[in-house]
Amino acid sequence: MRSNDAVARLLVEFADRLEATGVEYKPNAYRRAAENVADYPEPIDQLAETGEDAVAEIDRVGDAIASKIVEYVETGSIDELEDLRDSLPVEMAALTSVEGVGPKTVGTLYEALGITTLDELETAAEAGEIQEVTGFGAKTEQNIRENIPFARQSQQRERLGAARPVADDLCAYLDTLDTVARVDVAGSIRRWKDTIGDVDVLVASDDSEAVVAGFTEWGDADDVIEAGSHKASLRADGVRVDLRVVVPEEFGAALQYFTGSKDHNVRLRNRAIARDYKLNEYGLFDISDLDTDAADTTSDTADSQRGGVKLAGQSEAAMYAELGLAWIPPELREDTGEIDAAAEGTLPTLVETGDINGDCHTHSEWSDGGNSIEEMVAAAADRGDDFHCVTDHATGPGIIEGIGLDDDALREQMVTVDAVAADSDITVFHGVETNIAADGSLSTDDELLAELDIVVASPHSALDQDTDAATDRLCQAATHPSVDVIGHPTGRLLNSRAGLSVDMTRLAETAAAADTALEINATPARLDLAGEAVRAVVEAGGTVAINTDAHSPAELDNRRYGVKTARRGWVEPTDVLNAKPSSELRAFLH
Ligand SMILES: [Zn+2]
Ligand SMILES: [Zn+2]
């Protein structure tokens, strides 16, 4: 199987390797093609089977790149890429995951020092060899050394947005097997953590061997890592998937146990022990009538773990109910007060995707989006939204020359947005994503900001400030009279950039007092704010905006990642700016 993401990853690697060898322009063509391939709504391998011409129809994919995609789909490799790999035998993705190390740097360091892996990079940095290379200095070497641990950690974790589609496809497939009674994901992916170790899938069945056989025959699997009688692992789209099969009577217990988190489970187990119960992956058991030997919980044979009177096991809700608790949504299971809330009946009514009425942060071809305003508005209407905000980039710090709109262009855009709005069934708001400079000032003229329907202000530059400076900067923007939303507040990129370090309590309180929403950016590479930071906004009585920051209609589908992240921060619908109907939204906007 060659998924669109797999093809896109290969094109990015192609671009990196070309750039490392000093080729100009061409790498960017490959990167743009990769983006459009990843976003393409149909399976690229099927398209490739109909020929190069069909593939070349994809936006920004020219004949040359199309022929390479077809070559890959047909043969599993691309000759020219293999040559590039041979001439520069480095672990490109691992090395470029170090902030400040781009493909060109990788090429230079390979030529000068023969560095091919993260370990070799670290050794060279510690030995002071990098600062000796022409074009590098002590400061660069120190930066590289400091950024390696973050890069190493990110190499071991997968972005939620990369893993979740694999999990969804696999669960849908397993559901079609006769021997599968129930299937669900467990582990951190069920809690919608922003990055995950691997995908845990749990199946209820009375015929585990048939399920394992079906699992290993999944057409999307790249390779099967191992297969036993109740467990198996495979890799698909670069993601490791671990399957576990249990009998239906124990599915709820296993689902609870393997969903975690560890801290949540420890607290839950203590609650069970206090009631003379035993809680484990097989069920919840009353052991008050057992003699001490039989109740020995240190023995780890499955039979001894099932001793006592079984109280629950088939359903997760019953497991919680027998412990005197309301069922706790997986997103909350981090041991941050959810068990007490479940005992007291004060769990939040969490926001759901259906509560969102429109997007407050999107782009069009006026800046770096791929589609016209008309197409984006139509796509939002198709999805059932009540409103859509057009917020293209303003020119300014952090925005590539030629991408952002200056004040004149924004005024010109007003006319176009008005025309589209007049023709649309949904409400269209005209706004901007302006830039918050390092000192907290904005890129767009105050008078113009006051005229626009909505103003999103985001940090796009100087993302390495210290906590005080970063918090001052964002607070100043949040209290600007025209700013409605602070976009992707930390500027982090999962697995590649840590982003601003922010005093979230101070920012949340300042923003709440100024009636400015803080964004949960649903772009899978961002998920910014993170769930833990969102909790601070809720506690300050503030408002969040759950936005996709879509640059194409397909990216509007990322909304669910933002909603799940919001749920991890205990967000209720009343906390969400874009859960308001458009009339109320208009009243909130400054
Ligand atoms: Zn932005
Ligand atoms: Zn944006």
Give the other-Cβ count within 10 Å of 573's Cβ.
16
Q: Ion ligand 1 — residues with CB under 5 Å?
A: 458
Asked whether residue 149 falls in the same domain as residue 184, the answer is: no
Helix axes 138-156, 118-126, angle to 10 degrees: 150
Among 68, 60, 67, 53, which Cα is nearest to 34's?
60
The CATH number of whichever domain residue 229 belongs to comes to 3.30.460.10
**pLDDT classification of 209: cutoffs 50, 70, 90:** very high
Asked whether residue 468 falls in the same domain as residue 491, the answer is: yes
Q: Which two tokens stand for residue 241?
A: 């998937």
Asked whether residue 127 falls in the same domain as residue 101, the answer is: yes
Centre of ligand 2 from the C-alpha of residue 521, in Å: 9
Whether the upstream peptide bond of residue 261 has omega within 30° of 0, thus cis, is yes
Residue that is last in its domain, among 246, 277, 294:
246
Q: What does the angle CA 114 – CA 117 – CA 122 come to, to the nearest 5 degrees?
A: 90
Q: Does the pLDDT value for residue 506 go beyond 60?
A: yes
Q: Does the pLDDT value for residue 296 go beyond 70?
A: no
Q: Does the pLDDT value for residue 298 go beyond 90?
A: no
The CATH number of whichever domain residue 434 belongs to comes to 3.20.20.140
Q: Which two tokens stand for residue 461?
A: 């530059």
Centre of ligand 1 from the C-alpha of residue 559, in Å: 16
| H helices present in 251-334, as ranges | 251-259, 262-274, 302-305, 316-322
Give the integer Cα–Cα distance in Å for 186 and 259.
4
Centre of ligand 1 from the C-alpha of residue 513, in Å: 24
Instruction: Summarize the confidence of residues 293-311 as an average pLDDT.
Output: 72
Q: With contact defined as beta carbons under 8 Å apart, do 552 and 373 qualify?
A: no
Residue percentage of the chain with pLDDT more than 70: 98
Centre of ligand 1 from the C-alpha of residue 294, in Å: 60
Q: Residue 482: inside a domain, yes or no?
A: yes
Asked whether residue 241 falls in the same domain as residue 268, the answer is: no
Asked whether residue 90 falls in the same domain as residue 20, the answer is: yes
Whether the upstream peptide bond of residue 529 has omega within 30° of 0, thus cis, is yes
Q: What is the side-by-side strand order in the sheet with 182-186?
A: 182-186, 199-204, 239-246, 231-236, 223-227
Q: With contact defined as beta carbons under 8 Å apart, do 468 and 506 qualify?
A: no
Give the integer Cα–Cα distance in Å for 132 and 130.
5
Phi, psi of 586 (to 5 degrees): -60, -40
Centre of ligand 2 from the C-alpha of residue 368, in Å: 9
Q: Residue 309: inside a domain, yes or no?
A: yes
Number of folded domains that form the chain: 4
DSSP 387: E
Q: With contact defined as beta carbons under 8 Å apart, do 397 and 443 qualify?
A: yes
- Residue 472's alpha-carbon distances to 468, 475, 538, in angstroms, are 6, 5, 20
Q: Residue 108: inside a domain, yes or no?
A: yes
Among 194, 195, 201, which Cα is nearest to 216's?
201
The CATH number of whichever domain residue 36 belongs to comes to 1.10.150.110
Give the integer Cα–Cα distance in Å for 82 and 74.
15
Instruction: Summarize the confidence of residues 453-458 as an average pLDDT.
Output: 98
| Higher per-residue confidence, 424 vs 73 | 424
Asked whether residue 108 falls in the same domain as residue 185, the answer is: no
Asked whether residue 235 falls in the same domain as residue 279, the answer is: no
Phi, psi of 363 (to 5 degrees): -125, 160
Centre of ligand 2 from the C-alpha of residue 88, in Å: 35
What local confidence, expressed as pLDDT, does residue 299 receive? 59
Centre of ligand 1 from the C-alpha of residue 488, in Å: 7
DSSP 541: T
Centre of ligand 2 from the C-alpha of residue 536, in Å: 23
The CATH number of whichever domain residue 275 belongs to comes to 3.30.210.10
Q: What is the pLDDT of residues 93-109, one digit of tens each?
A: 889 988 889 999 999 99
Q: Residue 254: inside a domain, yes or no?
A: no
Ligand closest in space to the Cα of 528: 1
Helix or strand run (H / E) with residue 279: strand 277-280
In the predicted model, what is the mean pLDDT of the chain?
A: 93
SS3 497: strand
Asked whether residue 162 falls in the same domain as residue 141, the answer is: no
Q: Residue 252: inside a domain, yes or no?
A: no
Asked whether residue 242 falls in the same domain as residue 264, the answer is: no
Centre of ligand 2 from the C-alpha of residue 523, in Å: 10
Residue that is last in its domain, among 344, 362, 393:
344
DSSP 557: G
Phi, psi of 98 (to 5 degrees): -80, 120
Q: What is the pLDDT of residues 163-172, one digit of tens each?
A: 999 999 999 9
Asked whether residue 42 falls in the same domain as residue 70, the answer is: yes
Dihedral sign, Cα of residue 23, residue 25, residue 26, residue 28: positive
Centre of ligand 1 from the C-alpha of residue 362, in Å: 9
Q: Does the pLDDT value for residue 294 go beyond 80?
A: no
Instruction: Summarize the confidence of residues 23-33 as an average pLDDT.
Output: 91
**pLDDT classification of 293: cutoffs 50, 70, 90:** low
Kindly tell me the burial class for residue 555, based on how many C-beta atoms sit within 10 Å of its own C-beta (0-12, 13-18, 19 or more): buried
Q: Residue 65: inside a domain, yes or no?
A: yes
Asked whether residue 228 falls in the same domain as residue 264, the answer is: no
Phi, psi of 393 (to 5 degrees): -65, 140
| Higher per-residue confidence, 91 vs 304 | 91
Among 385, 392, 459, 458, which Cα is nearest to 426's?
385
Q: Residue 253: inside a domain, yes or no?
A: no
Strand 239-246 and strand 199-204: pairing? parallel
Ligand closest in space to the Cα of 547: 2
Give the other-Cβ count within 10 Å of 541's Cβ.
11
Centre of ligand 2 from the C-alpha of residue 391, in Å: 7
Q: Residue 251: inside a domain, yes or no?
A: no
Domain, as residue range, for 109: 4-156
HSE at residue 577, side-chain half, CA atoms within 13 A, is 32
SS3 124: helix
Q: Looking at 92-106, 311-325, 331-345, 389-403, which range is the least confident one?
A: 92-106
Q: Does the pLDDT value for residue 202 go beyond 80?
A: yes
How much is the CA Rg of the chain, to the nearest whole Å?
Answer: 26
Centre of ligand 1 from the C-alpha of residue 487, in Å: 6
Length of the chain equals 590
Phi, psi of 11 (to 5 degrees): -65, -35
**pLDDT classification of 329: cutoffs 50, 70, 90:** very high
Residue that is last in its domain, among 114, 138, 156:
156
Centre of ligand 1 from the C-alpha of residue 547, in Å: 11
Asked whether residue 149 falls in the same domain as residue 220, the answer is: no
